[in-house]
Amino acid sequence: MNQSCLAVLWHNTRYVQGVLALLGVVVCWVGSSFAVQGMFTDYEYSKPFFLTYFNTCTFTLYLGVYWATTAPADRHWARGLESHQAHHEAADETAPLLRAKDGHTTPSLSAKFCVLWFLANWSQNASLAYTSVASSTVIGSTSGLFTLLIGSMAGVERLTLARCVAALCSLVGVALVTNAPAHLPDPVDEAPSLVSHLWGDALALMGAFFYGCYTVLLKCRMHDDTQANNTLFFGLVGLFNMVGMWPFLLLLHCLGWETFALPDVPVVWAIILVNAFLGTFLSDYLWLLAVLLTSPLVATLGLALSIPLAFFGDIVFKGLVVNATYWIGTGLVLCGFLGVNSATLWEQSLPAR
C-alpha cells in the first residue's frame, strides 16, 4: 500500500510539473504571437517562412547543450546504437536510452518530427499576417479535437466519456469566443478583407492539424523525458531543418511568394531574436516536457488557455471591447482544461485502488 501511495504521489508530482511547464508555454506563445504580428504589420516585415526557419535553426544550440552535459560514453547517436542499448539495458535499467518505444532512434524520430513541426509553426506564423492574434489562437485551439481523434487511433489517448465532454466543452467555448461581438474603439485604417481573414483562419486550422499530428507522434515514439533525450532530440530537429529547408527558402524567393531580405531595422532583429529564444527555443522544450509528463490531450487542450490571455492582451493593449458571450466562452474553455486534467488524474489513480 505504501509503495502504491508513493507511486501515485510520484506520478501526480510529475503531472503537476507538466502542467506548470504548460502554463509557461502558454505565456511564451501568446507573447510571441503579439510580437510576430507587430513585426508583420507595424514594421512590414512579413516573412513567416524565414522566421520559422530562423527559429528552428536555434534548436541546433541544443546539440551544444547535449555535448556539454552528456558523458562521452553516452554520445552514441552516431555509432553502435544497438550494442550500446544492449550495454545500457544490462548495466542500468534506469539509464537514459536514446531510443524510441518501438526501436526508432532519436535521429530517426527527429527527422520525422521536423517536417510536421515546421509545417505547424509556419502555418501559425503565416496566419498572423492575415488575421488577429485572438482569432489565430482560437482556431489553433481546435488542435485538441485533432489530438483526441488521432491519439485514440494511435492508442495513446483513451476515448472516454469524460475526455469527450471536456473536449466538447472546450470547442463550444471556442465557438462562442469566435462569434462574440468584439470591436476596437477606433477603427483601423487597413482592416483585413474577408478573404484575407478566412485565409488566415485556414492557415491557423492547418497548423492545428499538424500540431495534433506531431504531438501524438512524440507520445507514441519518445522513450522518456530525460534531459539527454530532449536536448539531443531538439538539436537534431534544428539540424535537419537547417539542412533540409533552405532550398524551399530559395524556391519561395525565386517564385516571388516570399522574397528573401534580412531586416534593416534593429527593432525587427530584436523581435526575431527574442521570439526565437522565448517563442521557440525555451517554450518548445517546456512543451515537450508537458506532453511527456501529462498527455497529448492535456497539453493540447491546455494551450486553449492562451485564448483568454490573447484576448486580455487585445483588451489591455488595443482597447478591444467584448461582451458577455466572450466571457462565457472563456469560462467553458477553462472548464474544458480543468475537466480533462481532473479526468486524467482520476484515471491515473485507478490502478492504485
Of 10-14, 19-23, 139-143, 303-307, the poorest mean pLDDT is in 10-14
Closest by Cα among 122, 78, 352 to 214: 122
| Residues 94-119: tens digit of each pLDDT | 334 344 444 457 788 888 888 998 99
| Residues 219-274: tens digit of each pLDDT | 777 655 555 477 888 899 999 999 999 999 999 999 988 999 888 889 999 999 99
Sequence-separated contacts (24+) of 27-32 with Cβ below 8 Å: 27/309, 28/278, 28/279, 28/282, 28/283, 28/286, 29/279, 29/283, 29/303, 29/306, 30/133, 30/137, 30/306, 30/309, 30/310, 30/313, 31/278, 31/279, 32/275, 32/278, 32/279, 32/280, 32/283
Pairwise CA distance, residues 215 & 300, whole Å:
8
